[in-house]
Homo-oligomer: A and B are copies of this chain.
Amino acid sequence: MTKSKIVIVGAGFGGIAAAKRLAGCGAEVTLIDRRNYHLFQPLLYQVATADLSPADVAWPIRSLFTNDRNIAVALAEVTGVDRSSREVITGDRRYPYDFLILASGSSNFYFGHPEWEAHAPGLKRIIDATEIRKRILLAFERAELEEDAAERRRLLNFAVVGGGPTGVEMAGAIAELARVALARDFRRIDPKAARIVLVEASDRLLAGFAPELADYARRCLEKLGVEIALGQPVRAVEPSGVRIGETWLPTATVIWAAGVKVDGPGAWLGVETDRGGRLSVGPDLSLPGHSEIFVIGDAAKVVWEGERLVPGLAPAAKQEGRYVAEVILARLENRKPPLAFRYRHAGNLATIGRSAAIVDFGQWRLKGAPAWWFWGLVHIYFLINTRAATLVLLQWFWAYLTRKKGARLITGSRPLIIGRNAESREETP
């Protein structure tokens, strides 16, 4: 008898959790991702703000499965799924499957304006984070050399679009970069004069948190000097600035933390999706009519507590990954399948700068320094690789003591030509 074949597409939190649960089982598992690393996305913004290095928040996928001999990793980009022959297609190669888990995640959504992306990178991949880091640092470098006062002010304006946890964390971290780490490193400009504007279309920050905690976060951000523009959608993003409601903010640096969409699975399978690209799934997270295909993580539309959807958080993806692995194992071993998937919401966390954070566990809420320490411990705990956890801890501790930022490197493949007329070359990659 040949072994059953399980293909997992995507090595994010969901795909890794599923593969880990299937390690050592009788089936042959192939984990396909277009990158060679698993990314610890909750800390990616710290790469963008020069606190951490890419290797601190990402690990080679292979190294997570060195000793799991039934798990093979393939670095390849999925281009389609042949449902009738049961094969995943990657360019000119096909991976047959008996069970398929689609865990391919999401990308940034620009509300129907894909042309904004070039001027407003989001925070999904390592290359996004290093690009944002480069833009932020270059803005200060250019301002230092700029003779024109208006242009200098424009270079020192920073816009963060989106008032969820990522936007709040980015805005706080940029404010600290400008006001603390860079404060004494320039001779002609004062980095403390930088304006950081956090833009949110709805009328409050951090919709997932209790109003009292969101309010506390707003006050912390304002204390750091972040300006908050609520109830104002972004209407235009251009190389020279951003239109917020009716107001024009001249800026060279816009960071997108406003929305995500799902790209792959709907097109690969040729099935209908909702507006965000998500697929409807049955109670066991399988595709209706295809009990051998499962969709998890950001790509799956899973209802929770009546009308809400399961949020796009790491714990949700992990729970779904482990659950579908259990369903598959039960079928392989002719056991009774587990009951319908039920999401257990642990809580929401967000940090604002160096020593404030908010923790919302429903009944149990924390803010301020205790929340910050809790936030740090939780993240260290979930950094699955011991080496990375040690290094991240050490870098945080060092940064805490010295208030320096170690990873302030402007890297990239394009040559760096700085001058008053070089802007357009730099801004449109």
Contacts and interface: CB of A to CB of B under 8 A. Distances in A.
Contacts of A76: 145, 418-419
B418 A60 contact: no
Given A62-B186, A410-B37, A412-B127, A419 B145 contact: no
Contacts of A65: 185
Q: How many monomers of this protein are in the complex? A: 2
Contacts of A37: 408-410
A62 B69 CA distance: 48
A336 interface: no
Nearest to A181: B63
A415 interface: yes
A391 to B, nearest CB: 6
A39 to B, nearest CB: 10
Interface string A387-409: 11011001100100010101111
A55 B126 contact: no
A390 B411 CA distance: 23
Chain A interface mostly = loop
Nearest to A401: B387
A56 interface: yes
A187 to B, nearest CB: 4
Given A385-B406, A394-B394, 13 more contacts: A34-B418, A35-B416, A36-B137, A36-B141, A37-B408, A53-B53, A72-B188, A73-B185, A76-B418, A76-B419, A77-B418, A387-B395, A388-B406
A408 B60 contact: yes
A84 interface: no
A59 B387 CA distance: 22
Interface string A58-93: 111011011101001111110000000000001111
